[in-house]
Structure 1
Amino acid sequence: MKLIREEEIEIQNRLNAGDGTALELLFHRYYNDLCRYLIIFLKDENVAKNIVQDLFLYLWENHVNIDFKKSLESYLYQACRFNALLYIRNENRHEKSHEKIRNTSTEESSDVSSELEVKELNRIINEAIDLLPDRCRQIFNLSRSRGLSYHEIATQLEISVSAVDNQVNIAIKRIKRHIGFYYANVFIACFLLGKL
Structure 2
Amino acid sequence: MSKTFSNNYILIGSLRDGNDDAFKFLINTYNHKLNVYAFNLIHDKDLAEDIVQNVFLKIWKKRNNLKTEVSIKNLLYKSVYNEFIDQYRKNKKKTVSLEKKYLEALSSVIEQENEQSLEHLFKMVKKEIENLPPKCKQTFLLSKKEGLTNMEIADYLNVSLKSVEKHITKAFAILREKVGETNAHILFLLVDSKLIKNL
TM-score, with length taken from structure 2: 0.51
Distance 2:58 2:124 in 1: 22
Distance 1:51 1:162 in 2: 32
Alignment-derived partner of residue 24 in structure 2: 28
Alignment-derived partner of residue 3 in structure 2: 8
Please point out which of 81, 94, 97 is paired with 1:96: 94
Secondary structure at 2:7 match in 1: helix
CA displacement at 1:140 relative to structure 2: 0.8
Change (3 A) 1:187 1:21: same
Q: Deviations over 1:43-67 (max 9, x none)?
A: 2311232455688889x8453465x
Alignment-derived partner of residue 140 in structure 1: 140
Q: Does 1:63 align with 2:68?
A: yes
Q: Deviations over 1:125-180 (max 9, x none)?
A: 32442443221112111222233444443344332233223212222333344445
Q: Give the number of equivalent residue pairs.
A: 163
Please list every run of 5 or more consecutive structure 2 residues that lacks an aligned counterpart in the other structure.
Answer: 40-44
Q: Does 1:122 align with 2:122?
A: yes
Distance 1:121 1:36 in 2: 23
CA displacement at 1:37 relative to structure 2: 5.9
Distance 1:147 1:162 in 2: 18
Percent identity over the alignment is 20
CA displacement at 1:192 relative to structure 2: 4.2
Alignment-derived partner of residue 47 in structure 1: 51
Change (3 A) 1:148 1:62: same
Change (3 A) 1:123 1:22: farther
TM-score, with length taken from structure 1: 0.51
Alpha-carbon RMSD across the aligned residues, in angstroms, is 4.9
Change (3 A) 1:13 1:148: closer
